[in-house]
Structure 1
Amino acid sequence: MSHTAHIPSHRKPRRNASKTALRAGVAGGVLSTIAVAGAAGPAQAEPVTQTIEMPTITSGLSTAVAASAQATQQVAQDLQTQAQEDAAAATAAKAAKKAKAEAVRKAEAKKKAEAAAKAKAEAAERASRSTVRTTLSATSGSSTGTAASTSSSSSSSSFSSNATGSAAAVIAFAQAQVGDAYVPGGTGPNSWDCSGLVQAAFRSVNIDLPRVSQSQSTAGTQVSLSNLQPGDILYWGGAGSAYHVGIYVGNGQFVGAQNSSTGVVQRPLSYDPPSGAVRVL
C-alpha cells in the first residue's frame, strides 16, 4: 500500500463533459471578440445608416391609374359640355318664343291697321260717290229725270244684254253675281269688291286685268261715255286714280259691286254716273 493512499485527495471532481465544452465555446467566443476589438484599434465606430426601400409601382398599375384619371376627366368634361348645351338650348327656346309672340303681335297689329285703312277708304269712296250724285242731281234739277231714272232702275233686273262673243261672256259672268255681298278685298265666289268683280269677269275670257280700280281705269283704250259698248269698263274718279269700277252691259246700264249696303247690283248709268270708260275687248 502506498504511503499516500490514506490521504484524502484535494482535487475537485470532474465536471460533465457537455457543460465543459459549452463553457469552452463561450469563453472562446468572448476571447475572439476581444481579440478582434483589440486589433481594430482605438478608431471610433461609425453610425449605421439603414436605408428603407419603398415599393415600386409596376408599369401596368401606373397605366391603369392614368387611364382611370383620364376617364374621370372626360366624364367631367362631357357633363360640363352637356350643361352648356342645355343652357344654350333653353336660352334659344326662350328667345324663339319671345320672337314668335312679337311676330304674332305685329301681324295682328298690321291686320287691324289694314282693316281700318280699308274701312276708311270705303267710307271715303261712299262719301265721294254721294257727293258726285248730289252734284249731278242738282245740275239736272228735273223731277221728270228722277222719275225716269227710278223707272229704269226698277226694270234693270229684267234687262238682258244683246252683246256677243267675249263681251257677252263678261257681261253674263257679272250679271250672275248680282245679289252677292260687297266685301272690301273680296274676290268671290260669293262676295266681291268693285275691282275684284271686274277682274274675275274678264278672267272668265282669259284676260288678266290689274287687281285695283286705279290700274283698271287705264288698262285699255279710253272711250267717251257717249260711245260706250257692252263690255267696256266704267270708272269713277280720274283715270289712274279711280276709286270705283263697274262693267257696262248695254242699254244704258252697268253691273258693279257698289257698297256693303247694296252689294252687287245692276243699275242705270243715271243711278251713279261714271267719270269715264276704257275698252279692253
Structure 2
Amino acid sequence: MSHTAHIRSHRKPSRSTSTLVMRAGVASGVLSTLAAAGASAPSASAAEPVTQTLELPTLTADLAAQVAQSAGATQQAAANYELQAERDAAAAKAAKQAKANLAEAKKKAEARKKAEAARKAAAEQAASRSTERTTLAATTSSSSTSTATGSAAAVIAFARAQIGDAYVLGATGPNSWDCSSLLQTAFKQAGISLPRVSQDQSTAGTPVSLNSLQPGDILYWGSAGSAYHVALYVGDGKFVGAENPSTGIVEKPLSWSPPTGAVRVL
C-alpha cells in the first residue's frame, strides 16, 4: 500500500453548487435593480410639474386714461348726489319753517281779531252804560221825590237803617248781610215773604221799566231768573244795597251801577 493513500488531500474543498447559484442570483438581482433604475430615470424627469408663467397685459396710456375718467365720473356723481341731498334737506327745512310761519301768522291774526272784537264789545258796552246813566239821570230828575208811604216806607226805613253794616256772603243779620238777605228781611217789615236768593227775587214780582220806578221796587243785575245781585230802589234815583265786602251796605245813585231790570212786589 502506498504511504500516501491514507493522507487527506490538502486542496481546498470546492464550493458547493448551491452557494454559487445563490451568489449568481444576488448579482443578477443587483444588475436588474440597476437596470430598472436606469430605465425609470427618463420617466421621473417626464413627471416633474411644468411651471407656466402668465404675463399680465401692460397698462397702456389709453387704459390708464379710461380708469382715471371712470374714477372722476364716479367722484362727480357722488358730489352731485351729496349736493342734491343738501338741496332736498334745505327745501324740506324751508317748507317746515314756512308752515310754522303760516301757523304763527294765523294765530296772530286770530288773536288780533279776538282783541278787536273784545275792544268793540267793550266800546259798545261803555256806550250802552253811558246811555243808561243818561237815561237814569233824566229819570231821576223827573221822578217823584215824594216820600214813600205805607208798606214801601217801612221796607225802605229798615234798609236804610242797615247802612254801614258789613257785607258777608251768606250772612242774614243783624249786623252783616248779603244782597238778598237784606231785601228778604226788609220786606218782612211789610209782611211780605221773599225768596232767599237773588235769582228768585228777580222774578218775585211784576216786571217794571227802569223809566217808571217807584220806591220799594226791587232792582236786579243780570238776567231775570239768573240775577247775580239785587238792591232796593228808595226813590230820588237812588238805591240801598249790600254791594260787596269793600263797601258794605250803602246808598248809591242808579248811575253808580246801572241795574238790568226791576220788579214790583208792593
TM-score bracket, shorter-length normalisation:
0.3 to 0.5
TM-score (norm 1): 0.45
Instruction: Calculate the TM-score normalised by the size of structure 2.
Output: 0.48
